[in-house]
Amino acid sequence: MCEYSSALCGEAVNSEDMDAHTKENCDHRALGVCQRGCGSVLLHKDSVQGHHCCLDAMRARNGVLQLKSSGLEREAKEERSAGQEREAKEERSAGQEREAKEERSAGQEREAKEERSSGQEREAKEERSAGQEREAKEERSAGQEREAKEERLELGAREQFLLAQVSSLQSEARVARLTYQSTLRQCMLHISNITKQLITGHCKCRVRSQPCGLLGRSDHAVLSWVKPSG
């Protein structure tokens, strides 16, 4: 295709004839610039046919510029719309990310708060349990100590009672022994006196019948039996 196909040249040209066509045969080839003030590019057909009009060229150029302006405005509008949509999308994405971040932060803070609260409650519960256990242990220890003290006091009182009974029994035994010894001594003295009286009376009877130096065996036996001890 001719390189001036954009200028409405629709001729099909071989590649080897392309150079000659664009320079000599194509009616849409450029010959120069209009010198009458419009500054438009003059084509070969306009120069040959004498159809060039600066006003029409300016109008055509204005139309092209308007089309370009409309295209640029439409592109700008589309770009603004795309930018606004992109900004809105980015803003929504940033908002969603911010909300998600805030929600995660709030969730983490809530979890941390719940964990702290649970930990404090667990610590308070453990402390109360430990306090109750310590109080129960101290109470049991105090009770056991009180019971042991009462038991020691009871054993001491019982021991004192038994010692008092033993002392009383020992005193009674001592008094009984002294009483027995005194009674026995009195009996021995009484028997000794009676024996002496009997011997004296017996000797007086025998003296009348035999000499005093010749006593019988029975008399010696009586004397040896009534001889006081110690």
Q: Does residue 29 sit within a domain? A: yes
pLDDT above 70 (res 51): no
pLDDT above 70 (res 65): yes
Please report, for residues 177, 187, 216, the alpha-carbon distance to residue 219 in angstroms, rounded to integers and kept in the order given: 34, 22, 5
Residues 30-50: pLDDT tens digits? 666 677 667 666 666 665 556
Q: Does residue 105 sit within a domain? A: no
Q: What is the pLDDT of residue 219?
A: 46
Residues 149-186: pLDDT tens digits? 999 999 999 999 999 999 999 999 999 999 999 999 99
Of 43, 40, 38, the residue nearest 9 (C-alpha): 43
* Mean pLDDT, the chain, integer: 77
Q: Does residue 12 sit within a domain? A: yes
Q: What is the pLDDT of residue 61?
A: 74
Q: Does residue 23 sit within a domain? A: yes
Q: Does residue 39 sit within a domain? A: yes
Q: What is the pLDDT of residue 162?
A: 93
**pLDDT (mean) for 67-80:** 86
**Structurally, how many domains does the chain consist of?**
1
Which residue reads 């010692």 in tokens?
A: 163
CATH number, position 37: 3.30.40
Rg of the chain's alpha carbons, rounded to an integer? 79
Q: Does residue 43 sit within a domain? A: yes
What span, in angstroms and rounded, lies between the C-alpha atoms of 221 and 230?
19
Q: Which domain holds residue 30?
A: 1-52
Residues 200-226: pLDDT tens digits? 876 665 555 444 444 444 444 444 444
pTM of the model: 0.33
Dump the DSSP string for 9-49.
Answer: ------TTTHHHIIIII-TT-EEEE-TTTT-PEEEHHHHHH
